Amino acid sequence: GDSVTQMEGPVTLSEEAFLTINCTYTATGYPSLFWYVQYPGEGLQLLLKATKADDKGSNKGFEATYRKETTSFHLEKGSVQVSDSAVYFCALRGSGNTGKLIFGQGTTLQVKP
Amino acid sequence: DVKVTQSSRYLVKRTGEKVFLECVQDMDHENMFWYRQDPGLGLRLIYFSYDVKMKEKGDIPEGYSVSREKKERFSLILESASTNQTSMYLCASSKRGSYNEQFFGPGTRLTVL
């Protein structure tokens, strides 16, 4: 079945460091790919998405490119801030109209001043 | 502002009790979802509903049931709570259509003693 694998956390960075969180997927067909973020004490919110190969999603300085050849959707940010400390989830939505998402296990990011 | 609300942020119940978790959305969304979130496992889908009175099993439905009598409300029921159901429960909703974003509630942290 479809699945998503994220790099293990936690990831600890200093402010202004470069961030990469790896995400790879297994799916049949052409899934849509998402990054969600969960700030402490809150629910998840959509950070960015890409719906077809070579699409780049971007938001709040974060970017991810849908790479079909490597089945990857790595999250990057050039300069992280303390306020980016959160849990990040990679997810895919397969074909069909139900809107079901399959999530990775989540990666905790801690940014220190 | 779009809103998904959950009836409790924290809940403590005893083994064998019947537990109701309520979720309400004000966005007129067709799809609603219940997930549980556990460290290292990400989010796992328990049940979802794509219309009133319709429900489908997700990946881990055992020990749970759901009810959707009105479009805006989706209830998760633990018929006889057990300690292995101690978890964070997240509700989400989305419009019908495979590209539509899921909006999440803040979560209910359930502890079963």
Given this model, what pLDDT does residue B1 score? Answer: 66
B18: exposed, middle or buried (Cβ count in 10 Å: 0-12, 13-18, 19+): exposed
pLDDT reported for residue B5: 95
Residues 5-64 of B with CB under 8 A from A: 31, 33, 35, 40-45, 48, 50, 56, 58
Cα–Cα dist B11/A110, whole Å: 28
Q: Is the confidence at residue A30, as pLDDT, over 90? A: no
pLDDT band at A64 (very low <50, low <70, confident <90, very high): very high
Residue B2's pLDDT band (cuts 50, 70, 90): low
Chain B residues close to A88, C-beta within 8 Å: none
Residue B101: what pLDDT?
Answer: 83
Q: Are the C-beta atoms of B4 and B92 separated by less than 8 Å?
A: yes
- Outline where B14-102 has alpha helix (H): none
Q: Band of the pLDDT at B63, cuts 50, 70, 90?
A: very high
pLDDT of amino acid B99: 62
Mean pLDDT of chain A: 92
**pLDDT tens, position by position, B90-102:** 999 998 875 678 8
Residue B96, pLDDT score: 83
Q: Are B47 and B35 in contact (CB under 8 A)?
A: no
Phi, psi of A55, deg, nearest 5: -65, 145
Among the listed residues B88, B105, B82, B87, the one whose alpha carbon sits nearest the alpha carbon of residue B32: B105
Contact A99 B96 (CB under 8 A): yes
B76 pairs with which residues across the strands?
B21, B66
Helix (H/G/I), strand (E/B), else coil: A41:
coil
pLDDT of residue A39: 94
Nearest to B97 among A6, A97, A106 (CB): A97
Question: Are the Cβ atoms of A100 and B45 closer than 8 angstroms?
Answer: yes
- Of A13-17, B3-7, B19-23, B65-69, which range is least confident? B3-7
DSSP state of B17: -
Query: What per-residue confidence (pLDDT) applies to A35?
Result: 97
pLDDT of residue A95: 66
Alpha-carbon gap: A16 to the closest alpha carbon of chain B (Å): 27
pLDDT of residue B98: 56
Q: Is B110 on the interface with A (CB under 8 A)?
A: no
Hey, are the CB atoms on B104 and A45 less than 8 Å from each other? yes
Maximum pairwise Cα distance, chain A = 44
Query: A98 pLDDT exceeds 70?
Result: no
Instruction: For residue range B12-54, list pLDDT tens digits in order.
Output: 999 999 999 999 999 999 999 999 999 888 899 999 999 999 9
